[in-house]
Chains A and B, each alone.
Chain A
């Protein structure tokens, strides 16, 4: 089954404790991206990757890092999480740049 898998689904952490949210897709897609969803703000893109070893900033990249060492994986790294990064995070993949993105089920992160 074609899917995008994120882990964990829920995470509560403390300020400053490094964390990684994993994302994996089994569709051999070149393009992957991370979004955060906040009430009243919709979805905003954090980072995206056109292919292996090619990543770039989206609209709200501050406080986040990503890597793309393999085509299927695109982890989101928060080196020093802060409470304003409490949000619902989605990973997405596409076979090319842009449309028809396939989304993961989301990771709800709470930073206290």
Chain B
């Protein structure tokens, strides 16, 4: 079945540091890939997505590129802020049915001033 693997953390960085959160996946066919963000006390929000190989999703300074050859979708940001502290979830959707999203376990990111 489909699965998503991501580093769990917590990941602690200083403000303005470079961020990478790794995400790899296993899926049948050609899934769509997503990053969701969960701020403290809130539900999940879609951060960015990519629907086919080599697509780059971007939003709020975050980027992720769909790499079919390495089955990866790593999240990056050049300069993080304290307000980026949250839990980040990588997810995929294979389509072809009603299975919904398959999520990774989430990465807790802590940015220190």
Which A positions have Cβ atoms within 8 angstroms of B? 4, 31, 33, 35, 40-45, 48, 50, 56, 58, 90, 92, 97-101, 103-106
Q: Please give the distance in Å from B28's CB to the nearest CB on chain A.
A: 14
Q: Does B44 lie within 8 Å of A33, measured CB to CB? A: no
- B residues 56-113 touching A (CB-CB < 8 Å): 89, 93, 95, 97-101, 103-106
The A contact surface, by secondary structure, is strand
Contact count A vs B, C-beta below 8 Å: 61
Closest residue of A by beta carbon distance from B90: A42
Q: Does A58 lie within 8 Å of B43, measured CB to CB? A: no
Closest residue of A by beta carbon distance from B105: A42
Q: Does A97 lie within 8 Å of B105, measured CB to CB? A: no
Q: Does A100 lie within 8 Å of B105, measured CB to CB? A: no
Q: Does B89 lie within 8 Å of A48, measured CB to CB? A: no
Chain A residue contacts of B43, Cβ below 8 A = 4, 90, 103-106
